[in-house]
Amino acid sequence: MDVFRQLKRFYWRERKFLFTSVLFLILATIMGLAYPLLLRYLVDDIIQAEKFDMIPSIALLVAGAMVTKACFQFIHGFTGGRLGNRVAFNLREALYEKLQYLSFQYYDRARTGDLMSRLTADLEAIRNFVGFGFAQLLNMILMVTFGAVTMAFIDWRLTLITLITMPIMGFIAIRFELKVHPAFRSIRLAMSRLTTAVQENIMGVRTVKSFAREPFEVEKFSERNNEYRENHIETSKIWAKFFPALEMVANLSVVVLLSAGGWFVIKDWISVGDLVALFSLVWYIIGPMWGLGFHINNYTQSKASGERILEILNQRYDVASEQDALMMESEQVKGNVEFRDVQFHYPDGQPALKNFKLNAPAGSIIGLLGGTGSGKSTVIQLLMRAYDVKKGAITLDGVDIRHIDLNNLREQISVVFQETFLFSASILTNITYGCKEVTMEQVMHAAKLAKAHDFIMELPEGYNTVVGERGMGLSGGQKQRIAIARALLKNPKVLVLDDATSAVDMETEYEIQQGLKELMRGRTTFIIAHRISSLKHADEILVLDKGEIVQRGKHHDLVVQDGPYRHVFDIQFADMPEALRQGRKVAN
């Protein structure tokens, strides 16, 4: 029960529904005992005494008891359903909030399909158990307890003889739980892998089709589907073994009761009415015991799901704000960024930055150039505290960014990532994302600077045009220009362009950069680019290789030096006249 103890905060706040549901369940269980007792009275005191005129009254009593029981069950079911839904709501809110604040490091290893499975199928299993499964399990305990006590009240000797098989049923049920719980956890894991396969295929459907890999994807899905099927088959085998055993033991109890009870009637130790009542009561007990496997099945499913949900809820934050973190007023932030002997490596242990030093005065433009894996993007990730440095420090206006409130820090920074992401919403919503109060004039001004206004106005509904999932319906360059407008509208103190113009043509890049020049003025800007044309106006350019700075300086200095920067320049401007490639006019 440790899983449900950890989840207590989500259902204990709804305890009024829990207690109401349990109360009316107890009342309904007690009312269920009226039927066998009335049968006993009917046989012994009416039929054998030949008081047949009282049968209609007894029938009305039985009907009244059944109606009352039905009313109690309705209230129990209604409040139980409310309980399950409210607990699911609380859990869903907590899970989503947790996922929002988990660090980049968690998402480096998380799978979207698996997370979706936990938020849907696993959460549904918890809802079913809290709302109904728990009540059914409690109902079983109450019926067995009340039924056994009532049987003992009629005749304790026959009760002991009849219920001697109950420990055997309990043993079988425990064995069943030990077997079926790992099986259901395997099913959940297989389901998450299946969901991940589907999600990845849908997201990458264009790549699949462009490489004609449909047969491969079908085969891969078939493997995941087969794994899911095999897990279900194994679970069905467990059910097939244990349920016949439970049924056999349950029927054995009835045989024992009829055999011993008949002997007791012959000996005149009990009346016929007593035997009829005991026969009814034994089924009152066996019924829920027979469903013990189902209740355990429901419980083990919810426990397996609860474990997977708790894996998210108990996940620690790799990056978080300090308890007394500093809040910086945006108006007072200047934007001076400094990296002091920063060293960093990712969880796999591979070094990403080594003794990285950089002082970017407020309003300066810093260019970062290097091949794949050189550490360019890592610099930006550390500046945003996507990860924390392993050694050294990063400061903003002289304050270690680890001492600044995380949200407050990121409010000072605006990033245009190389991989553009747009929400399935209107273009206006995408541009204003992250801005609380802006006017339409400000939105249009940012879009014009990003060279996005003209193509937006050509769309059917202009800024109110809804783009598809991940920006479907727009070209790569159009999506990137919307992302640039979104970053500019935020009016940050630190602007980061992570290869932000890689998806646009050279002419559009030139036009965007002319607009960016105005925005860069007065704010610290980091430009990650592969094109020399995007970096040549930077105040300082850092060339990185394997996490180390191998060259640094201005464009006109680096272009005349032998080294990786000159090598990249020669490749990109191979068709230019020799004078330009030597840097005599490029500096202008």
* Contacts made by residues 224-229, CB under 8 angstroms, sequence distance 24+: 224/190, 224/193, 224/194, 224/197, 225/194, 227/190, 227/193, 227/194, 228/187, 228/190, 228/191, 228/193, 228/194
Distance CA 540, CA 552 (A): 7
Reported as a single tens digit per residue, the pLDDT across 79-105 is 988 988 898 899 988 998 888 888 888
In the chain, domain spans = 2-313
Contact 530, 559 (CB under 8 A): no
- What local confidence, expressed as pLDDT, does residue 586 receive? 41
pTM over 0.75? The answer is no
Distance CA 505, CA 507 (A): 6
Q: Tell me, rounded to whole angstroms, the distance of Cα 145 from its chain centroid.
A: 40
Q: In 288-387, where do the E strands start and end?
A: 337-345, 351-360, 365-370
Alpha helices in 376-419 (DSSP H): 376-383, 406-411
CB atoms within 10 A of CB 141: 12
Return the DSSP state at 326. Answer: B
CA neighbor of 192 nearest in space, from 289, 250, 121, 261: 121
Distance CA 263, CA 269 (A): 9
CA neighbor of 404 nearest in space, from 340, 459, 322: 322
Return the DSSP state at 121. Answer: I
- What local confidence, expressed as pLDDT, does residue 575 receive? 62
Distance CA 84, CA 90 (A): 10
Contact 504, 480 (CB under 8 A): yes
Contact 367, 557 (CB under 8 A): no
- Residue 476: phi and psi, rounded to 5, are -60, -40
- What local confidence, expressed as pLDDT, does residue 542 receive? 92
Strands of the 524-528 sheet, one edge to the other? 413-416, 494-498, 524-528, 365-370, 540-545, 548-553
Give bridge partners of residue 553 from the DSSP assignment. Answer: 541
Helix, coil or strand: residue 172: helix
Please name the fold of domain 2-313.
ABC transporter transmembrane region fold (1.20.1560)
- What local confidence, expressed as pLDDT, does residue 396 receive? 93
Distance CA 248, CA 332 (A): 79
Q: b or e along 235-252 (b: 16 or more beta carbons within 10 Å of the residue's beta carbon)?
A: beebbeebbebbeebbee
Distance CA 80, CA 74 (A): 10
Which stretches in the chain have pLDDT values below 50? 583-588
Contact 337, 394 (CB under 8 A): yes
Residue 390 CB partners (closer than 8 Å, separation 6+): 343, 344, 345
Burial of 324 (0-12, 13-18, 19+ CB in 10 A): exposed
Torsion of CA 111, 117, 118, 124, to 10 degrees: 170
Return the DSSP state at 369. Answer: E
